[in-house]
Chain A
Amino acid sequence: MMKIIKDGLLTLVQDLGRTGYQKYGVIASGSMDTFAHRIGNLLVGNEEKEAVIEVTLLGPVIEFHEDAVLSICGGDLSPAIDNEEITMWKPILVKKGAKLTFGKPRTGCRAYIAIAGGLDIPVVMGSRSTYMRAKIGGHNGRALQTEDVIHFKESFNLDTGARSFVEKDWTVARSLIPEYSHRPTISLIEGPQFSWFDEKSLQTLFSTSFKVSSQSDRMGFRMEGESLSLKEPRELISEAVSFGSIQVPNDGNPIILLADRQTTGGYPKIGQVASIDLPILCQMKPGEQLRFKQITLEEAQKAWLDQEHSIQLLKRSISLKKKEESS
């Protein structure tokens, strides 16, 4: 088990989302940066969808009350164990008594702590994700607080010599680690109501920058920039939205819907962030700016499949490594 000594800004248990219940209006939730989430789990030998801890901007202080194998992926929030910096995107053996802390955010704003064997968190509607508004899932339906204790599903007895932790000597290929940027360019596919918008708005969308406003959270990023408008007033009949849908309310400022989005929406959707770029987007902080670049559905799907292929390769090489280690 581990104990939260200090809770941090927003520390949540998340898996890859509560799928299958959106038809009942239950939001999907799940990790914001699903790529870091998946890789983190693979590095410690878990299934990709296993629940992890999502750390936001100001990290928690966590004390380990038993040995554990962990990895930290996603945004670089200066993770350290017993005051010694640790390497991200790599399995780390941690001894009982070790203290994990975070420091200054260097890149991105969300880090993911994956624990070998997984977290012992009850499943609600097929998922361990925290859905704060409905007070369900995760740890008691809320963000982790100081003094909370989280149990692990498996226990280990590790040899780390005289040290409180040891990093494994292998890691993920550099090419697979995303470059989280303060000014990213995000790929966009046309949204279902793309053609409802006037020519000037479509030009603006792809030729100017948009700022992530301070009113942004896991539900969505409210963007500030030049206002976008329809050719003529038109009402949309509410329909499903998805992770990365960009809807434009009457005030003309786009909202990008993210992990905690509602299931349906009645605002026209000008675009849709390509799935492959969602992790980069989700690592942005309020105040940072992005540009959009248009790609086709075909390009978006090909890029996604390529990435899935690389993840499958990584999976295979990790299981080989595990076999080597155990023989």
Chain B
Amino acid sequence: MNYSLSPLGDQAIVITVSDEINEQAQVNVRILSLLLEEQQPEWMVEYIPAFTTVTVFYRPDLLSRKGMIPYEQAKENVEELLTLIKTEEVSAVRTVEIPVCYGGDFGPDLEFVADHNGITPEEVIDIHQSGNYSVYMIGFAPGFPFIGGMSEKIAAPRRDSPRLEIPERTVGIAGKQTGVYPIETPGGWQLIGRTPKRLFTPEEEVPSLLRAGDKIIFKQISETEYDNWEEPRHDEDH
């Protein structure tokens, strides 16, 4: 795996695996995340994976022994750690289905997205359901997925002035991206529907429904189905 190391301030080191967003970069970020998860080096505080980088936060006081500054030692330790990578492949990806009740009060901007693209709201729903989606990264808000793979036929600009409160679990479109707001947040996305499924579950060991690499299927449900939705008690994927 090709990578470069650089500092982020005096307590973090950035592992960069690519200078553009692509499939291999994503796979490599996942490999690094799995490795760090598995190894849990004692000097590591935590790590944050992104599109092309994994940032490792460290404790300088545990890296001050060899007469080197902590960053130099962190660098050495990361290099050593990365020699443990045996493969450049990752195990099967998960597919997560997200039920969505489109339009109405849940999706006040569905009409706008349709008008903007010269199609009907029904067509927007069909196209949104038929994308080949995958999660690039989790960030911005707890459990918030950056999802790639949406058709440009339903792309829509952000609102000129952001809404102050977008209810949790709202599905939106911004530019060529689609996403789901896990918690109530201000935001400028065009809102097309809402899912009954929780993306952020603070009571769980893994508080995020989604993780980088997941494939996603959006599936339309009716208002009745939305109202009667029950969270499965045990998620088999965990």
Contact = CB atoms under 8 A, between A and B. Distances in A.
A150 interface: no
B9 A242 contact: yes
Nearest to B61: A308
Interface string B176-215: 0000001111000000000000001011001110010000
B50 A301 contact: no
Interface stretch (A55-63, A176-184, A232-240): A232-240
Interface string A59-96: 00000000000000000000000000000000000000
B53 A240 contact: yes
Contact of B48 (A22, A124, A301, A305): A22
Contacts, number: 139
A304 B139 contact: no
Contacts of A19: 45-46, 57
A302 interface: yes
B142 A24 contact: yes
B52 A134 contact: no
B207 to A, nearest CB: 5
Given A24-B207, A300-B10, A305-B64, A239 B51 contact: yes
A297 interface: yes
A133 B185 contact: yes
A9 interface: no
Contacts of B60: 301, 304-305, 308
B9 A25 contact: no
A263 interface: yes
Interface in A281-315: 297-298, 300-302, 304-305, 308
A41 interface: no
Interface residues of B, number: 48
A262 interface: yes
A269 B64 CA distance: 26
Given A24-B207, A297-B69, A308-B61, A238 B6 contact: no
B143 interface: yes
B202 A240 contact: no
A131 B181 CA distance: 17
A124 B61 CA distance: 27
B10 A304 contact: yes
Q: In the complex, which range does the number of interface residues on chain A fall in?
A: 35 or more
B106 interface: no
A134 B10 contact: no
Interface in A174-203: 189, 192
B151 interface: no
B7 A133 contact: no
A239 B46 contact: no
Interface in A234-282: 237-245, 262-264, 269, 272-275
Contact of B57 (A27, A242, A244, A274): A242
Given A124-B202, A239-B53, A301-B70, A23 B64 contact: no
Contacts of B46: 19-23
A305 to B, nearest CB: 5
B171 interface: no
Given A26-B207, A240-B50, A245 B183 contact: no
Nearest to A26: B142
Contacts of B24: none
B156 interface: no
B50 A239 contact: yes
B121 interface: no
The listed residue with most A CB atoms (<10 A of its CB), out of B55, B143, B202, is: B202
A190 to B, nearest CB: 8
B172 interface: no
Contact of A242 (B8, B64, B137): B8
A30 B92 CA distance: 37
6 contacts: A22-B46, A25-B182, A192-B8, A273-B9, A305-B64, A305-B70
Nearest to A134: B183
